[in-house]
Amino acid sequence: MNQLRKDYLLNRWVIIAKKRGKRPHDFFQISRTKRMEGVCSFCPGNEHMTPPEIDRVEEAGEWIIRCFPNKFPATVREKGLSKRNLLTKMSAYGIHEIIVETPEHDVELGDLSFEHIRKILDMYIKRLIEIKKDRKIKYVSIFKNKGEIAGASIEHSHTQIIAIPIIPPIIRAELNAIKRYKRGKNRCILCDIWKMEMKSRRKIFEDKYIAAFAPYASISPFEVWIMPKNHVPSLERLSSKEKDSFAKTLKIILDVLNKTLNYPPYNFYFHLSPDKEDMHLHLELLPRLSKWGGFELSNNIIINTMSPEMAAKHYRDEI
């Protein structure tokens, strides 16, 4: 029967609609439609079309990863705050950067080698450390939009970083849930979650350092959480072996999605600990395989037509 399930941390409910349930093959993307963009500003030879480069990784004298400011930033380094009656506003102070993951236009993140993905992870960490030096920044969001449905306006594979002067409400809500649990149990709730899920039917993959599972109250078919087993608050605190394992696990998950669903659109994002807080680092990956209608938008309750147990079994069978 269908179930209402509550998120581990948030006051968010999901309907797992087993009676409307779909099988994995129902989500197969019929075609990998490429949008014609004309000249791609992210391709080699067009570096002059982007803002001045911040950093790069090279092989044989050519770049394989580039970082530069977003040409059309959501946040900029200006400040200001004003309040008037019911209205509050402030300048969208912050930093907005692009990391181009590969020089090859038609290569997706999941097509890259583990070694290349590890270098991308290292670039995330390098930029995170540098951005955090700005004391006005309270939170750094690292995220990827893959595919037009997932919000990508340029198809060339890339990640974005947006740093802002506030802690986002969803991160604050997770931090509050972590604190409440720790007061009662004297343990981290996310540490307990991965241990529980590695014994459940939602387990996807684990090694010595990393756990991957389909979350109990998944809001999307094939949703995956990836997290270090050690209580690590942010990316820059990962050990070298944990970074290797994280990159390998992400590669494994993307390989399954691309092979069995024909390169579906997806979003992923890291939840990282703000300074002086105690988040347990994790990555949430959501394939964009369903549409939200009036019920979801009006009630903030998502209907998911694939149970996480079925999704996890599909991943395990394909790994």
In a domain, 262, yes or no: yes
In a domain, 86, yes or no: yes
In a domain, 140, yes or no: yes
In a domain, 131, yes or no: yes
In a domain, 68, yes or no: yes
Q: Please indicate, yes or no, whether the overall pTM of this predicted structure exceeds 0.85.
A: yes
Quick one: CA dihedral 130, 251, 103, 58, positive or negative? positive
Q: The tokens 């890291």 sit on which residue?
A: 270
pLDDT one digit per residue (tens) for the chain, 319 residues: 899 999 999 999 999 997 665 666 667 666 665 665 689 999 999 999 999 999 999 999 999 999 999 999 999 987 665 666 678 888 889 999 999 999 999 999 999 999 999 999 999 999 999 999 999 999 999 999 999 999 999 999 999 999 999 999 999 999 999 999 999 999 999 999 999 999 999 999 999 999 999 999 999 999 999 999 999 999 999 999 999 999 999 999 999 999 999 999 999 999 999 988 999 999 999 999 988 899 999 999 999 999 999 999 999 999 9
Distance of alpha carbon 138 from alpha carbon 166, whole angstroms: 5
Distance of alpha carbon 279 from alpha carbon 234, whole angstroms: 8
> For this structure, is 231 an active site residue?
no
In a domain, 37, yes or no: no
Catalytic-role residue among 96, 116, 156, 158 = 158
Residue type, 48: H
CA 195 centroid distance within chain: 21
Distance of alpha carbon 304 from alpha carbon 292, whole angstroms: 10
Distance of alpha carbon 15 from alpha carbon 140, whole angstroms: 31
Question: Which CATH number belongs to the domain containing residue 58 in this structure?
Answer: 3.30.428.10
HSE value, Cβ hemisphere, 13 Å, CA-based, for 93: 18
In a domain, 163, yes or no: yes
Number of domains the chain is built from: 1
In a domain, 152, yes or no: yes
Range of the domain at 118: 3-32+42-318
Contacts 24+ apart (CB under 8 A), 315-319: 315/204, 315/205, 315/214, 315/222, 315/224, 315/253, 315/256, 316/203, 316/204, 316/205, 318/256, 318/259, 318/260, 319/204, 319/205, 319/252, 319/256
Asked if residues 39 and 49 have their Cβ atoms less than 8 Å apart, the reply is: yes
